[in-house]
Amino acid sequence: MKNIVYIATSLDGYIADKNDGLDWLPSPDSADFGFEAFIDSIDALVMGKNTFQTVLAYGGEWFYSKPVFVVSSSLKEIPKHLEEKVFLIQGTPTEITNLLRKEGFENLYIDGGLTVQNFLKEDVIDELIITTIPTLLGDGKPLFGKQEKQLQFKCIESKVINKMVQNHFIKER
């Protein structure tokens, strides 16, 4: 049972530029970052409303093959074409984790800046897989927010992929 973050950041730690833009990210075709293998290893995704709306804005075929649970208290419905694939969920990160585990979802991919920060604040993130893009944005949406307490992770793998660095950390318990 794991909650795993798989995300890219700029060299200065941002997940989006100051206008919430992502055009600084390399195209998914530019290198094999292991994303497909990662998706195969998880049971479901938990993503924030803003990330969900960003993914929706890309249009086209729905990107995810696993169930997606969108954390939102303001969204009231999911687009009709995604009703069997995307579900609304509310609660604290601990409540969401416990509910989804009871439903049989063991390994969860946690995605979205605020969602990741909230899961970290409750100390329910087990692994971080962070690909650092060698671009300095100077401003934007940071991956990490203020923490009430220190969280200790250890790096179990670090690799260079097409001039980018991917680090895999696990939570020290």
Write the pLDDT tens digit of every residue in 87-122. Answer: 999 999 999 999 999 999 999 999 999 999 999 999
Lowest mean pLDDT: which of 4-8, 19-23, 132-136, 163-167? 19-23
Residue 6 has pLDDT above 90, yes or no: yes
Q: Is pTM, for the whole model, over 0.85?
A: yes
Cα 123 to Cα 103: distance, rounded to the nearest angstrom:
21
Contact between 154 and 169 under an 8 Å Cβ cutoff? The reply is: yes
Residue 26 has pLDDT above 90, yes or no: no
Range of the domain at 10: 2-171
> Which runs of consecutive H residues, i.e. helices, occur in 26-171?
35-41, 49-57, 93-102, 113-121
Lowest mean pLDDT: which of 23-32, 77-86, 137-146? 23-32
Indicate the pLDDT class of residue 57, thresholds 50, 70 and 90. confident
Number of folded domains in the chain? Answer: 1
Residue 142, domain CATH = 3.40.430.10
Angle at 89 between CA 113 and CA 73, to 5 degrees: 75
Residue 60 has pLDDT above 90, yes or no: no
